[in-house]
Amino acid sequence: MQDFNNAVNEAMAKITSNGTIEKIIEAQLTNTVKSLVNDQLRSYSDFGKALQEKIDTDLAVSLNNITFSEYNETILHLVAGALNNAVTGEAHEKLKKDINELFESPPKEITLSEVIEKYKEESAEYERGGAGKIALIIEPKEYGSIGIALNPKNTKGYRDEEVDSWHDCEFYMSIRVDKDAEDRGRLTRTYDRSSLKPHQFMPTCMSGTTRMLYQMYCTGATLILDEGIDPENYDTYYSEQYEY
C-alpha cells in the first residue's frame, strides 16, 4: 500500500510541476464561461429579449413610407453590385441596360387603344406571316372587374378558327370597373403566357407591352377603356406601317 501512495504522490507532484493541472482548470473554466455566455445570449433569455427588442427598434422600416420608385432604386443598386462582380465587357452593358429598362417608371395611366397600338407594333412579324389583325377579348368578370386579352393572331389551330377566349391568348389582364370603386380602372392582374417557359417564370423575362403593364400593375396604375367594352370599337388590324 505504501508503494501505491508513493506512486500517487509522485504523479501529483509531476502534473503539478509541469502545468497540467493549470491547463485542465483553464479548459474547464473556458467551457463554463462559454456556457454562461451562450445562456445569456439565447433569444429567450432576459438579455436576448432586450437585444432583440433593441434591434427591432433600430432596424424598424415602415413599408407605408416606401414608394415603388424607392424600392426599385434599392433593388437596382443591389443588382448593380452583384452585376459588377459577375459580368464584364459587352455583356455587362447589355445587362445593365435591360435592368434599367425593367425598373424605369411606367405611365400612371394609359388607354386601351394605346396598348393595342403598341402591341401591334411589337407583333408586326405576324403581319408578315399573313395575320390580318390581333385578337382582342373583353369580357366582364365577377367582383366588378373586366378581363382583357391580347394575341398576335386572331386565329388558332390548323383550321384557323377565330380566337374567342382569353385562354387562347398570349397576354391577359384585368381591371376594376365597379363604378363605386375608388380604384376604378386600376390594373388588378397581368399574365404573360408567352414568357412561361421552363427557365422563365419571373417578370424580368417580360418585354415591351407586357413588361410595361406589369410595372403599371405594381404601381397601381390605371387602364382606360377609351372606346368602351365592345372589342369591335377598337382598331385591331395591322397596318402598312408595321410591314417589313
Per-residue pLDDT of 54-107, as tens digits, reads 776 766 655 555 556 566 666 666 666 666 666 666 666 776 676 676 667 788
The rounded distance, in Å, linking the Cα atoms of 97 and 99 is 5
Average pLDDT, the chain: 76
| The Cα angle at residue 189 between residues 183 and 192, in degrees rounded to 5 | 150
Least confident of 37-51, 63-77, 208-222: 63-77
Judge whether 96 and 82 are in contact, CB under 8 Å.
no
pLDDT exceeds 50 at position 197: no
Give the number of C-alpha atoms closer than 13 A to the C-alpha of residue 21, restricted to the C-beta side. Answer: 7
Judge whether 153 and 126 are in contact, CB under 8 Å.
yes
What pLDDT is recorded for position 18?
A: 77
CB count in 10 Å sphere of residue 93: 11
Q: With DSSP H G I counted as helix, E B as strand and the rest as coil, what are the percentages for the chain, rounded to 5? A: 55, 15, 30
